[in-house]
Amino acid sequence: MPTQPKPGRSFVTRQAVTDLVRAAALGSYGVTGFAARPHERLLERLGLAQPGIAIRLGDAIDVELDLNVAFGVPIAEVARQVDSAVRYSIGHALGRDVGRVTIHVAGLRFGPGGTPPTVIRATPDAVGPRDLADSGTDVA
């Protein structure tokens, strides 16, 4: 294997960068999909757009994502995970710097159990926050 680089150029299409970003985001913990407006869904079916992903190419690559996240997972942690995965994927595959990753959480997806209850009723024998406070126990 040669150790000296050979002069030349490589061209990467916007679609290839979009595919890298899509795979990195969907492989991240808590991401259930990309959010799309109705006209974006139509363009996706025609093969003209990738809804939920906007890529700007320049000196650095800027990425903007509109994501749906699973209900009950920490959104900030999901965003950190997606940011890290996108930066690693582009850096590893293309050797390019990622300037800005902007993540918009457009919605929450609920699991197969349906939507969560709007009011959670405590059972009569459950220990509540007031009980802990009155007991003198340190509560963080």
| Range in 27-31, 57-61, 80-84, 125-129 the model is least confident about | 125-129
Question: Is 65 among the domain residues?
Answer: yes
Question: Is 5 among the domain residues?
Answer: no
The domain in which residue 119 lies consists of 14-135
Question: Is 87 among the domain residues?
Answer: yes
pLDDT tens digits for range 7-55: 777 778 888 999 999 999 999 999 998 887 776 667 767 766 677 888 9
Q: How many domains does the chain have?
A: 1
| Residue 47 belongs to domain with CATH number | 3.30.70.1350
Which residues have CB under 8 Å from 75's CB, separation 6+?
Answer: 30, 69, 105
* Burial class of residue 123, CB neighbours in 10 A (0-12, 13-18, 19+): exposed
Question: Is 52 among the domain residues?
Answer: yes
Residues 102 and 64: their CA atoms lie apart, in Å, by 5
Q: Is 39 helix (H, G, I), strand (E, B) or coil?
A: helix
**Structure confidence at residue 24 (pLDDT):** 96
Alpha-carbon distance values, 123 to 15, 113, 132 (Å): 54, 21, 16
Question: Is 2 among the domain residues?
Answer: no
Is the confidence at residue 140, as pLDDT, over 50?
Answer: no
Question: Is 112 among the domain residues?
Answer: yes
Question: Is 24 among the domain residues?
Answer: yes
Question: Is 61 among the domain residues?
Answer: yes
Query: Of the candidates 47, 45, 54, which has an alpha carbon nearest to the alpha carbon of residue 21?
Result: 54
Pair 71, 108: CB distance under 8 Å: yes
